[in-house]
């Protein structure tokens, strides 16, 4: 019988409540968002919901569909803007001084501009740092979509990579003490790790091959 990843996480959560230790084998944090009410109100002006996103994005057959997210450091010490390409699993990270919308906007544009010919869509959550999405879309000539509120599983690739990033930059880190070189080293390590989905090839290699083939 097929078993979904959500069923596995629910089973692990139940086991933890009963005193089990399965949760200790998760490669990233123990916290898991639950499917539930989508009552959280979006602050994004004129959002295009993920429902309207082309179906090919979900299949991961096309090169150039990205997810974006932010990872917070210790309060007041900045944030990390992260991007993940869905087909190749290429992961980009940039440190910003604050989670201001203009800083996040500029970081997204700066990270993706070298690959602008390979940016079709960007999918974000509904946090306020993405209110400048129209400027991002215009600069990159791409379509920006938003997941439903309280629906982190709709951007599972970003959530997974952000959890792996915490192995290098733990939750609660003072990002003022993290150098750009530290960030690049973490990014490089994740992109050179062979992935089962890619036939145990490295995301960086598959990404470069996809650029050359496009």
Q: What whole-number distance in Å separates Cα of residue 193 and Cα of residue 103?
A: 29
Q: What whole-number distance in Å separates Cα of residue 94 and Cα of residue 108?
A: 8
The answer to whether residue 154 is domain-embedded is yes
The answer to whether residue 37 is domain-embedded is no
The answer to whether residue 152 is domain-embedded is yes
What is the pLDDT, as a whole number, of residue 18? 66
For 44-53, letters b (16+ CB in 10 Å) and e give: beebbebeeb
Residues 187, 86, single domain; the answer is: yes
- Give the model confidence (pLDDT) of 89-102 as tens digits: 999 999 999 999 99
Which residues 6+ apart lie within 8 Å of 127 measured at CB?
A: 43, 70
Q: What whole-number distance in Å separates Cα of residue 212 and Cα of residue 214?
A: 6
Dihedral sign (CA 135, 51, 67, 81)? positive
What is the pLDDT, as a whole number, of residue 155? 87
Residues 177, 83, single domain; the answer is: yes
Number of domains in the chain: 2
**Residue 146, H or E segment:** strand 143-146
Place of tokens 């596995």: 8
The answer to whether residue 186 is domain-embedded is yes
User: Per mean pLDDT, which range of 22-36, 38-52, 98-112 is the poorest?
Assistant: 22-36
Which residues 6+ apart lie within 8 Å of 3 measured at CB?
A: none
The answer to whether residue 183 is domain-embedded is yes
CATH code for position 157: 3.30.420.10
Residues 201, 148, single domain; the answer is: yes
Residues 28, 52, single domain; the answer is: no
Query: Percentage of the chain surpassing pLDDT 70?
Result: 88
Residues 27, 47, single domain; the answer is: no
Q: What whole-number distance in Å separates Cα of residue 67 and Cα of residue 124?
A: 6
Q: What whole-number distance in Å separates Cα of residue 104 and Cα of residue 110?
A: 10
- Give the model confidence (pLDDT) of 108-150 as tens digits: 999 999 999 999 999 999 999 999 999 999 999 999 999 988 8
Residues 110, 190, single domain; the answer is: yes
Which residues 6+ apart lie within 8 Å of 151 measured at CB?
A: 35, 38
Residues 114, 183, single domain; the answer is: yes
Residues 51, 78, single domain; the answer is: yes
Residues 67, 149, single domain; the answer is: yes
Q: What whole-number distance in Å separates Cα of residue 185 and Cα of residue 34?
A: 32
- Expressed as residue numbers, the domain containing 202 is 42-213
Mean of the pLDDT values across residues 53-69?
96
pTM over 0.75: yes
Higher pLDDT among residues 40 and 55, named by residue: 55
Residues 17, 98, single domain; the answer is: no
Residues 187, 100, single domain; the answer is: yes
Q: What whole-number distance in Å separates Cα of residue 65 and Cα of residue 43?
A: 23
Residues 16, 77, single domain; the answer is: no
Phi, psi of 173 (to 5 degrees): -65, 145
The answer to whether residue 100 is domain-embedded is yes
What is the pLDDT, as a whole number, of residue 41? 53
The answer to whether residue 103 is domain-embedded is yes
């Amino acid at each position: 019988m097929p078993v979904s990843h959500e069923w596995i996480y629910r089973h692990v959560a139940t086991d933890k409540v009963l005193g089990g230790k399965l949760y200790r084998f998760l490669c990233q944090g123990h916290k898991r968002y639950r499917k539930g009410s989508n009552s959280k109100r979006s602050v994004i002006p004129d959002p295009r919901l993920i429902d309207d996103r082309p179906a090919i994005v979900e299949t991961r057959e096309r090169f150039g569909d990205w997810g974006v997210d932010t990872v917070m450091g210790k309060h007041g010490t900045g944030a990390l803007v992260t991007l993940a390409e869905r087909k190749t699993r290429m992961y980009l990270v940039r440190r910003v001084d604050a989670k201001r919308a203009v800083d996040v906007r500029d970081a997204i544009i700066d990270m993706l501009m070298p690959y602008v010919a390979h940016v079709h869509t960007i999918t974000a959550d509904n946090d306020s740092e993405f209110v400048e999405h129209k400027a991002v879309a215009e600069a990159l000539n791409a379509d920006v979509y938003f997941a439903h509120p309280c629906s982190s599983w709709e951007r599972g690739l970003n959530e997974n990579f952000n959890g792996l990033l915490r192995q290098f930059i733990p939750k609660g880190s003072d990002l003022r003490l993290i150098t750009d070189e530290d960030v690049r080293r973490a990014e490089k390590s994740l992109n050179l790790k062979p992935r089962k989905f890619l036939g145990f090839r490295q995301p960086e290699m598959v990404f470069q091959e996809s650029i050359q083939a496009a």
